[in-house]
Every structure is written in structure tokens, then in C-alpha cells.
Amino acid sequence: MPQPDILVTAPLPPFLYEPLKADYRCHDHYQASHKPGLLAAEGARIRGLVQGGGTVTPTPLLDALPRLEIISVFGVGYDGVPVQYCKDRGIKVTNTPDVLTDDVADVAVGLILMTGRGFVRLNRFLQAGEWPKKSPELTTKLSGRKVGILGLGRIGKAIASRVSALGMQVSYTGRSRQDVPYRYFPDLHALAADCDFLVVASPGGAATRNMVDAGVLQALGKKGTLINIARGSVVDEPALVAALQAGTIKAAGLDVFVDEPNVPAELLAMDNVVLLPHVGSATHETRKAMGDLCKANLDAWFGTGRVLTLIPELA
Ligand code: NAP
């Protein structure tokens, strides 16, 4: 059997790319100096595509791949995939759920601790030699505070159990009420008004774009801190900058941004924000597990005609 041809549209770590190269004819679209030339020469042969969670796949690219059968996303978020287009063409789309849940939830908890207890600012204080000169600031007791979660899915639930263990109270919003021991708010504004930490854990994409807007931030108010480990697109970033500048909200802890790796200069200059370079799943163990699952989906498809983790819209 000839090896299936695969188009790679994102930078992949060696622990994924090397096994892929062993079993497939890989064509590196991401690094190609002349992408139209690559597509003209190889497009008609391509049967699989591997992309990252943050990769945006335009439909003209897919138009150039008439035999494409599967897109395997190296990540759980697939907001960069044109899902309806894939559905119409019968292209399978898979992702890497579950294996990264714990790590991403850890980052959310870390951002709650870092913003609430001021750990990043206090670290700067100590390293700047300020401790011998003055007392460190007092911060916020976390136990007893309210955490509101937008998107109580796999990661949202892992965050909920972690912050519950810290003695924090959990509530959530989403498109539907779930059978969980947390208070449900059908309305995001009401959730924001009620909580101290608003944690964004929903998918990105058109349905959630700018869901956390100026009105939601106003409802979160001076008592409130915004945590985002989901996608930058869910938060209206200029509105967030304005809310932080005006003191409308207290603080923010962000792992994701609208135009990564570019972060608004205003955020970089603020003392009441903690910023991370999209490291939710960035551990050796988890990225390896994601890589294994990303390849396992291709192997399953080309070996048995089935996939392991089809996205729900195509199930
Ligand atoms: P998931 O299990 O599908 O959970 C998503 C949750 O969001 C669901 O509970 C869903 O609840 C809710 N939701 C979906 N659409 C919504 C909408 N339009 N409005 C309100 N709520 C909505 O996904 P997951 O595995 O927890 O991952 C969540 C997201 O985290 C991913 O999509 C990805 O973008 C992001 N992520 C970030 C990192 C990072 O490195 N920072 C890493 C991994 C994942 P309902 O169905 O009840 O609405």
C-alpha cells in the first residue's frame, strides 16, 4: 500500500512529526517557500491534513485538496476549521480532547492564584530588592470567593473541582444546564455580576466571538478578575484593555490573546494583569499524548476507516 499523502499546515514537534514522516508522505505547507507551487504539484494527492489548534484553515486551501478525507487537529480547539464546509464535503475532523484537560485546568488555577494572591507582582517586588525597604502588600483570601465558569466542559469541570478543593464556590453558564452540583446562570451577565473570578473555558469561533464584552466586564465590576484559558476571540480585547485601564474590573489573568503571539502593549504595561504565552497544554507529557492521539486518528482512519475522536458536529 502506498503511504497516504499528508499536508502539514502548522509547526509540529519532532515527537509528532518524525512518526508521521515514518508512516506518511508528509508535505510541509507551513514551511513551504512557494505554497501555491506545492499545492499545484501535490494537492490532488493529499488525503490527510494535520494542523494545530490555533491554525486557521481557509476554504480555498481545502478547495485545492480534492481528495482530502481527514483533518487531524493537534489540539482540542478546532475553531480554525471550517466545520460546515468539511461536513458538506464529508471530510472527517478529529481533535485531541481529554489528554490536555488537567494541564489547562492547572493553568487556570495558577492564574487565579497569581492574580488573586498577587504572586507575580510580589515576585517582582522581592527580586527588585524592595522587601528590606517595605512590607509586601496584602492580597485577597481565595477560600470562600466565587468562581464563575463560562463553558463547563471537560476543562471547565476540571477547573471547578480544583477551585472547589481550594474552598471556592463554583457557578457556571453555558447553552444548557447540566447535572452538576454547581449553580447555573442562564445569563453570562448575571454570572459575571455574581462572581469574583470569571473564568472563560468555552470554545472559540463565531458562536462565542466577543461574548465577554464591555457589558459583561461592567457586570464583573471592581471586585472581579477575568481569567481566560480558552481563546482570545471569546473576549473583546479592546474592551478588556479599556476596563482594566478605567478600573472597571480589578485584574486579569490571560493565557490566550486575539492576535497571538502579539499582545496589546497596554496589557504588557499593566501591573494588575498576569500574562502567559498560551501554555495551557505545554508540558512534555501532555504534548506527547496530544501528538500520539493526533497521529492515532490518522492511523485509525487510513487503517480501518474509523477515527478515535471525531468532533461532535460531525458525529
Ligand atoms: P468542551 O468539553 O467541548 O467544553 C466546552 C464547553 O463550552 C461546553 O461545556 C459547552 O457547554 C460550552 N459552550 C460551547 N459553546 C458555547 C456557547 N456558544 N456559549 C456558551 N458556552 C458554550 O471543550 P474543552 O475540552 O473543555 O475545551 C474548551 C476550550 O478550551 C477549547 O475549545 C479550546 O479552545 C480551549 N483550550 C485552550 C488551551 C490553552 O492552551 N489555553 C488548551 C486546550 C483547550 P454547553 O454545550 O452547555 O454550551
pLDDT tens digits for 76-135? 999 999 999 999 999 999 999 999 999 999 999 999 999 999 999 999 999 999 999 999
- Sheet holding 251-254: strands in order across? 183-184, 169-173, 146-150, 197-200, 225-228, 251-254, 273-275
- Concerning whether 266 is annotated as a catalytic residue, the answer is no
Query: Which residues constitute the domain of residue 72?
Result: 5-99+285-314
The grid coordinates listed for 174 are 453555558
DSSP-derived secondary structure for 63-107:
HT-TT--EEEEESS--TTS-HHHHHHHT-EEE---STTHHHHHHH
3-class state of residue 195 by DSSP: coil
Does residue 150 lie in a domain region?
yes
List the grid coordinates of 289.
Answer: 499524548
User: How do residues 245-275 score in pLDDT, each as one tens digit?
Assistant: 999 999 999 999 999 999 999 999 999 999 9
Residues 233 and 261 in one domain: yes
Burial annotation 111-145 (CB, 10 A radius, 16+ → b, else e): bbbbbbebebbbeebeeeeeeeeeeeeeeeebeeb
Ligand 1 center from residue 192 Cα (angstroms): 18
Q: Residues 77, 111: one domain?
A: no
Contact 214, 237 (CB under 8 A): no
Residue 293 near residue 309 (C-beta atoms within 8 A): yes
Domain annotation covers residue 12: yes
Average pLDDT over residues 3-27: 98
CA separation for the pair 2, 23 (Å, rounded): 10
How far apart CA 95 and CA 294 sit, in angstroms, is: 7
User: Catalytic annotation on 18?
Assistant: no
* 143 and 271 assigned to the same domain: yes
Whether residues 83 and 108 share a domain: the answer is: no
Residue 18 has pLDDT above 90, yes or no: yes
pLDDT at 287: 98
Same domain, 120 and 239: yes
Q: Using one digit for the tens of pLDDT, what is the confidence trace for 131-177?
A: 999 999 999 999 999 999 999 999 999 999 999 999 999 999 999 99
Q: Are 187 and 175 in contact (CB under 8 A)?
A: no
Same domain for 125 and 206: yes
Which residue, 102, 100, 68, is CA-closest to 86? 68
Q: Do residue 93 and residue 105 come from a single domain?
A: no
Residue 239, domain member (yes or no): yes
pLDDT at position 77 is: 97
- The partner residues of 226 in beta bridges, in order of sequence, read 198, 252
User: What is the pLDDT confidence band of residue 300, given thresholds at 50, 70 and 90?
Assistant: very high
**How many CB atoms are closer than 10 A to CB 148?**
27
Whether residues 257 and 116 share a domain: the answer is yes
Q: Are 225 and 249 in contact (CB under 8 A)?
A: yes
Residues 183-237: tens digit of each pLDDT: 999 999 999 999 999 999 999 999 999 999 999 999 999 999 999 999 999 999 9
Looking up cell 477547573 gives 159
295 lines ligand 1 (CB under 6 A): no
pTM for the whole structure: 0.97
Do residue 134 and residue 40 come from a single domain? no
Q: Report the C-alpha gap between 199 and 206 in whole angstroms.
A: 19
Q: Crossing angle of helices 284-304/14-23, nearest 10°? A: 20
The pLDDT assigned to 89 comes to 98
Would you say residue 306 has pLDDT above 80?
yes
Same domain for 122 and 179: yes
Q: Residue 198 contacts by C-beta under 8 Å, 6 or more apart in sequence?
A: 148, 150, 191, 192, 212, 216, 220, 224, 225, 226, 227
207 Cβ closer than 6 Å to some ligand 1 atom:
yes
Q: Are 78 and 199 in a shared domain?
A: no
Residue 173 grid cell: 453558564
Task: Please state the domain count of the chain.
Answer: 2
Active site includes 137? no
Which atom of ligand 1 is nearest to 155's Cα? 26
Query: Whose C-alpha lies nearest to ligand 1, atom 21?
Result: 174
Residue 2 has pLDDT above 90, yes or no: no
User: Does residue 209 belong to any structural domain of this protein?
Assistant: yes
Instruction: Please check whether residue 77 is in contact with residue 92, taking contact to mean a CB–CB distance below 8 angstroms.
Output: no
CA pair distance 262, 192, nearest whole angstrom: 27
Cβ 16 under 6 angstroms from ligand 1: no
Instruction: Kindly report the protein residue whose alpha carbon is nearest to atom 1 of ligand 1.
Output: 153
pLDDT of residue 313: 97
Q: Which of ligand 1's atoms lies nearest the C-alpha of 75?
A: 43
User: What's the pLDDT score for residue 1?
Assistant: 74
**Co-location of 117 and 265 in the same domain:** yes
Q: Is residue 82 one of the residues assigned to a domain?
A: yes
Cα-to-chain-centroid distance, residue 70: 22
What is the bridge-based pairing of β-strands 273-275 and 251-254?
Answer: parallel
Domain containing residue 165: CATH number: 3.40.50.720
Residue 280 lies in a domain: no
In a domain, 159, yes or no: yes
Q: What is the mean pLDDT of residues 283-298?
A: 98
Are 217 and 239 within 8 A, CB to CB?
yes
Distance in Å, CA 102 to ligand 1 centroid: 14
The answer to whether 111 touches 229, Cβ cutoff 8 Å, is: yes
